[in-house]
Structure 1
Amino acid sequence: MKFYDEFDSLEDEVLKLNIIDKNIGNESEIPYYYYAIILKERNVEIGKISIRIGHNSHSYYNGNIGFEIYEAYQGNNYSLNASKLVL
């Protein structure tokens, strides 16, 4: 698995995703990118998101995108916007 540095930072008009970790995986874990979600207007972290590359039994049941939006920032479609960015 080759990781690309061009994906270390992703952004749109509202959010910026900054890479926290890139993991090449192993026999039980598929490779993934893991990001902090930053609200650009306030330069504050509002959550985290990961995208798993490939498929295994874990991704079959849990999907390839996982995210958390901190409670104070929920209800603003930030997870939707972040998911679009990682795709």
Structure 2
Amino acid sequence: MGFEFLDFDVIKGEEIDLHLIKTVPGNKGKNWVPAYHFNITLSGLSEPIGKIDIRIGYNKNLYYGGHVGYSVNEEYRGNHYATKAVLLLKKVAHAHEMEKLIITCNPDNIASRKTCEHIGANLLEIVDVPKDNDMYQRGEKVKCIYEWVCS
């Protein structure tokens, strides 16, 4: 039985919405899982203020890369939009029967660490990225590993 993307064109929140911009199928050869990519917008508007994605499934690579990636444009930072966007992704995680998500960040990324704390994620450990991991090759040597029980 293959993976099926579900209908998440727009996920509406109180202050922000998530607009689906693309889906990416998994790639077994690269050990990648399927993913949804969204623009973050202010509610009712279409101009992106950031991006967020969620990867569906579990594997060793996701322990270091995480299930969720996000960024908020500089002029919109400080409003907890990343936190609000991650919380909106619960709908996608639940629809795919995922109760726990891994979120990772670099130890010096204080804003991302605060986002993880605000959603109630637990810091599992701070680890060295394995040398055979793509992130290590890009210069990312250490990661904070958070687990978020999103049930």
TM-score by length of 2: 0.54
Q: How many residues align?
A: 86
* SS at structure 2 position matched to 1:83: helix
Partner of 2:56 in structure 1?
53
Report the CA distance shift for 1:9/1:51 in structure 2 as closer, same or farther (over 3 A).
same
Q: What's the CA shift string for 1:1-59, capped at 9, x where partnerless? A: 10111x12101111111101111211121111000000126543100000000122221
Query: Are 1:73 and 2:76 counterparts?
Result: yes
Tell me, which stretches of 5 or more residues in structure 1 are unaligned?
none
Which structure 2 segments of 5+ residues have no match? 91-151
Instruction: Describe the shift of the 1:9–1:53 C-alpha distance in structure 2 as closer, same or farther (beyond 3 A).
Output: same
Larger Rg: 2
Higher relative contact order (CA 8 A, sep 6+): 1
Q: Which TM-score applies when normalising by structure 1?
A: 0.90
Q: How does 1:18-57 map to 2 (within 5 A)?
A: 18-27=19-28, 28-40=31-43, 43-57=46-60
Letter in 2 for 1:3: F
- Percent pairwise identity: 38
